[in-house]
Structures are given as structure tokens and as C-alpha cells.
Amino acid sequence: MKSQDPPVRALSKTTDPLFSPNGDGRNDQARISFLLEPRSDTVTVDLVDADGDVVRRLVDDRFLRAGPKQTFRWNGRSDAGRPAPDGVYRPRVKLSRQGRTIVLPVEIARVRRPPLRVFTVL
């Protein structure tokens, strides 16, 4: 069996493991970055929930060049404009020209209220 590199490579997600779009100015947007390799394609980028259902479409049939980092942001809202439920979401990239769809191995944990950080004093 021949091994091939994936045509989409995930680079990053939010800077904090938790994404909390609650308007406090901290982690209010999730950032999804990836590379297309080795060739350009027309892509659709969705965020899907644990059941694989589309919650938000970030890009619809946009031509993207191979090589440069592609970055998209999600404000935590569904396509209907309502806040998405708390949960874990994954980016899904559809490559129209290649006829492939890839769910990136990046989890975005959306929570309305981030947990309080507890510090231990030694």
C-alpha cells in the first residue's frame, strides 16, 4: 500500500484549549489554520459537532492556493446567527477538485463561561 501525505495539514486552533465567546475580550474567537499541499483547490470549510452535523460554514467554494497558511476565525455562532451549544467542534475541509473531504484532527472546545483558574500557593 502506498503512503501519501494528506492534502490538508492542520496547523493550529485557539491559543487556549478553551474557546469562550462571551464578550470578555479573551478567547472570543477560535482560529483554525491549515495548509493545502501539494496543490491548490476550491474548498468549503465547515465546523462540525460531535455527530458530524454542520454548525457553521466559514468558507463556501473559495479557491485557495497551495502553500501559504490559510486562517479562518469562528465567533462561536451557528449559521442561524445563534450561539452554538457548548461542546467540542472540529473543522471539516471539502476539496472540490480532488473530490475529498477531510475532518482535521483539531478539537475546538466551545464553552460560554471559561472555568476559573485555580492557583496553588507553595
- CATH code at 8-110: 2.60.40.4070
- End-to-end CA, the chain: 55
**Domains in the chain: boundaries:** 8-110
Q: Are 41 and 97 in contact (CB under 8 A)?
A: yes
Predicted local distance difference test score (pLDDT) of residue 14: 43
- Whole-model pTM? 0.80
Using the CB atoms, write b or e for 61-78: b if 16+ within 10 Å.
Answer: eeebeeeeebebebebee
Q: How far apart are CA 57 and CA 48, in angstroms?
A: 9
pLDDT score at 122? 59
Looking at residue 117, what is its pLDDT?
55
The reply to whether omega before 38 is within 30° of 0 (cis) is yes
